[in-house]
Amino acid sequence: MTKNHKVWRNGKMIPWQKATVHLMSHSLTRGSAIFEVLAFYSTSRGPAAFRLPEHVDRLFRSAELLGMELVQSKEEILRAVVKTVKVNRIQEGFVKIVGYYSEETFFVSVSNRRLDLSIFVIPADEVQKHTSSTVRACLSGWRKLHPETVPVEAKVAANYLNGMLARQDAQRRGFDLGVMLDNHGFLAESSTESVFIVKDGVLLTPPLGLILSSISRRSILEVAPTAGIKVAERPIRRQEILEADELFTSSTTHRVMPASRIEDRVLRKAPGPVSRKLLTLMNAVCSGREERFKHWLLPIK
């Protein structure tokens, strides 16, 4: 993938190939790695990381929810991200921060709750080279994990088996992604994306509590009113998804991804007017051309 790149691990820069753990490590065999994925964009002031402090805050929140300990402070992690982007000399791409137990163990528990930490940088074209402008969405047969079984707001590797199954199910049926319902039958989210629908010009999305507190989702909700778009966070019934005027997903890798199809229903004007307006606005925000949201971009200096 990026064989010549450097990886930040526990305070040191190491070659990409040496960023490894033992096959019996706890985070591999038990799925106990926590992580964050964030984007950095090319702007007139050079590369800038999108909402980096919020991502690091959420990393600490994941550790807290799971009883894990991060050795580094928030400021140390912020500096480490900036350093890793600079060392790899990439103008636009993605950062993945991974906290993990490298301890080799047969048991479900660990002897030391302190995490190792690694930071990876991946060029944008490595991630987006196979991306289309729209996606085909279906309702997944898999339900979103219930918050009384695991903390759904934690970005922990084990939780994403749920999303992987939903994605595989959708692809087997000829779709790109599966939209999951929660255990009450209301809209939750997709595999790694927040889901929005538009009905009669109003932007609708599920409330927090049963879904990940997505920073991409939060950004859309904060940007939309500045474009004159009405927003409502409320439970969304299955039938409302199927009858939506527009549907799009939002994630770090795809800020606004319109759906051209929902099950057997084709949306011929994808992106619709609301999705198109948000896509244009988010592109301006991420390139540093939108003054009202420049504080979301941290220059890599």
Residue 283 sits at φ, ψ, to 5 deg, of -60, -40
Beta bridge partner(s), residue 265 = 262
Q: Look at residue 2 in the predicted model and tell me its pLDDT.
A: 65
Per-residue pLDDT, averaged over 46-53, amounts to 97
Contact 154, 212 (CB under 8 A): no
**Rounded Cα gap, residues 72 and 118, in angstroms:** 11
Give the separation between CA 90 and CA 41, rounded to whole angstroms.
Answer: 10
The rounded distance, in Å, linking the Cα atoms of 25 and 291 is 46
Mean pLDDT of 117-145: 92
Measured CA to CA, the distance from residue 258 to residue 131 in angstroms comes to: 12
Q: In order of start, what are the domains of the chain with their CATH numbers?
A: 6-128 (3.30.470.10), 135-286 (3.20.10.10)
Token representation of residue 51: 């909402």
Count the Cβ atoms, other than its own, within 10 Å of residue 207.
12
Mean predicted confidence (pLDDT) in 167-178 = 97
Burial class (CB in 10 A: 0-12, 13-18, 19+), 145: buried
Q: For residues 215-244, give the mean pLDDT.
A: 97
pLDDT value of position 268: 85
What is the pTM for the complete model shown? 0.95
pLDDT at 217: 98
DSSP 145: P
